Amino acid sequence: MNRSNQGAFKTRNLSWRQKEIILAIKEYVEDNGYPPSYRELTNLVGLKSVSTLAGHLDRLKAKGYVSFMPGLPRTLSLNKEINVE
């Protein structure tokens, strides 16, 4: 791994929707200084159901890409950067 990519992870184990969710979280935090709510994130990535988003976030958490505290608002955070290829 070259130095410019240190800390970034390959995304072969992520679906395109999961990549989209990670990038939406990153952009939202950069723009606002705090993470999006589930409803805001659902709208940002074009999903119709918060429960569908929750399923994606649960899988991203299991893979180590995000963390959050269930039941508490705006605790979503990114644990890994990704390379978008």
pLDDT digits (tens, 9 = 90+) for 19-75: 999 999 999 999 999 999 999 999 999 999 999 999 999 999 999 999 999 889 999
CATH number at 14-79:
1.10.10.10
Domain boundaries, the chain: 14-79
Q: Which of 12, 3, 5, 28 is nearest to 65 (CA)?
A: 12
pTM for the structure as a whole: 0.81
